[in-house]
Copies of this chain bind each other. A is one copy, B any other.
Amino acid sequence: MTSSTSPVTGIASAGASIFADALDAQAVPVTRVDWRPPMDGTESDLATVATDPLRQEANRRAAEAVLGVQAMVVDVAPASEILGLEKGQFLHAGPPLEWANASGPMRGALMGAAALEGMVDDPQDAEALFQSGANVSLEPCHHRNSVGPMAGVVSPSMWMWVLEDPADGRRAYCSLNEGLGKVLRYGAYSPEVLSKLRWMSEKLGPLLKEAVGNTAEPINATSILGQMLQMGDEAHNRNRAGTLMLMRDLAPAMVQSSADAADVAETFAFMGGNDHFFLNVAMPACKVAMDAARGIEGSSMVVAMARNGTEFGIQVAGTDDEWFTGPAQIADGLFLGDYGPEDANPDIGDSAITETIGIGGFSMATAPAIVRFVGGSVPDAFATTRRMGEITLAENNRWAIPVMEFMGAPTGIDVSKVCRTGILPQINTGMAGRVAGVGQVGAGLVNPPAEIFPAALAELARRTRARQN
């Protein structure tokens, strides 16, 4: 996608900034199309990758593969069953991580999960367990075809959404959303956190499994995402319409399930009271679509962006499963209660898979009310979506943004375009407290560390040269 072909609802302004300032004062979205130099030290790699004869076709194929996926909700099942996860095995968000480098919320979530699995009675006792490393292992969700919001910790007894691309049977998985407040994914592990997780495994998971198996029509998460973008959700920090559509689609089967009416009613109240419930369906829907582009030789498209609370990592279609990582940043945004920037942990979670495919922060223009949650202004939201068009390979016409005259979501971050323009992907995100056990402290806007894109570009260039020699 280039700015010259995309429909815009704002004004492109180069040069005379008095005109641009006058428009700003009238609250018209303005994009200042500054010429920017490429990122430092990338000129040679940019030239190499630009002349790679595979690149154009590889990127076209990668975008087409992603845009072609219809992610269907096909099952809900325990991680032990569906991923073969065994006692002591824990998945986490982001690139690979060791306990020694884990941040507060990641440690808190792991400690809570160890207690949930009965490995310790008191979550505090799990610290020694993880420190010793005996009988425990940590692995990224992405290495198991999974994604997890915030700490993204998955342990064997947790139930997971199963999304499938029916074209080839590939699957992606994500745990069930716990709601807001004190929740494991933000690093909280108090008794009420664990008791809610137990209810989710005992009641919620089995009921959802039965309902998903008995809907009149299969649930198409890709189609729900398209409708969400017409209903003020950007599917990362607003999932209200998505949650409601999921309830609508499951309701008849839930009512006719074998569960007690009181449990069904409690489940409706739980889902209906948690506007983020659909996030954990949206994420694996994005994951199963992005995975369709993995391993396409010569493609410079990012297939995953993920953070573990310490490091931010990306994976790229043309560099197999290699991670390019740098320090996770602290988001700039709005804080709950008395919390402030000093209370915030660096960026954490696999939820940036939404931005990887062009929604979340990339489609903020379609969810202008999000600025009251993550900060910024409505014109900023428009400008962000247009700016993301400058670093992406395609528009997703199935995911149209009505207010931008039905422009498609800007999809498929191109490592080359990021390095050439210096424009970084824009992510909107929840913020976890930096101390284990605290929970959420705010929400805001954040970027990846810039250096991971030149690093990925260098590897693409190395592979290009290797092919040419």
Chain A interfacial positions (CB closer than 8 Å to B): 7-12, 23, 26-29, 216, 227, 230-233, 240-241, 244-245, 247-249, 251-256, 261-262, 264-266, 268-269, 272, 368-369, 371-372, 377-379, 402-403, 405-406
Contact = CB atoms under 8 A, between A and B. Distances in A.
A402 B382 CA distance: 12
A33 to B, nearest CB: 13
| Copies of this subunit | 2
A233 B241 CA distance: 11
Nearest to A233: B231
A1 B245 CA distance: 36
Given A26-B11, A241-B244, A402-B368, A261 B251 contact: no
B256 A247 contact: no
B256 A272 contact: no
A401 to B, nearest CB: 9
A427 B254 CA distance: 39
Of A10, A230, A261, A265, most B-chain CB atoms within 10 Å: A230
A28 B382 CA distance: 12
Nearest to A263: B255
Nearest to A246: B244
Contacts of A12: 26
A251 B272 contact: yes
Contact of A247 (B23, B227, B248, B378): B248
A27 B403 CA distance: 11
* Chain A contact residues: helix, strand, loop or mixed: helix
B11 A29 contact: no
A405 B27 contact: yes
A312 to B, nearest CB: 29
Given A230-B369, A231-B231, A269-B252, A7 B27 contact: yes
Closest 10 CB pairs of A and B: A244-B244, A368-B402, A251-B268, A252-B265, A248-B272, A369-B402, A230-B369, A255-B265, A231-B232, A231-B231
Contacts of A252: 265-266, 268-269, 272
A172 to B, nearest CB: 25
A247 to B, nearest CB: 6
Given A231-B241, A244-B244, 6 more contacts: A9-B27, A252-B269, A256-B262, A256-B265, A369-B402, A378-B402
A402 B378 CA distance: 7
Contacts of A251: 247, 251, 265, 268-269, 272
Contacts of A253: 265
Nearest to A269: B252
Contacts of A248: 244, 247, 268, 272
A270 to B, nearest CB: 10
A341 to B, nearest CB: 25
A264 B249 CA distance: 14
Of A216, A233, A251, A379, most B-chain CB atoms within 10 Å: A251
A14 to B, nearest CB: 13
A369 B241 CA distance: 15
Contacts of A227: 240
Contacts of A232: 230-232, 241, 402
A226 to B, nearest CB: 11
Contacts of A261: 255-256, 261
Contacts of A266: 252
B241 A378 contact: no
Contact of A28 (B10, B372, B379): B10
30 contacts: A8-B26, A8-B27, A9-B29, A10-B28, A11-B23, A12-B26, A216-B269, A230-B369, A231-B233, A231-B240, A231-B241, A232-B232, A232-B241, A232-B402, A241-B241, A244-B244, A244-B248, A247-B247, A251-B251, A251-B265, A251-B268, A251-B272, A255-B255, A255-B264, A255-B268, A368-B402, A368-B403, A369-B402, A372-B402, A378-B403
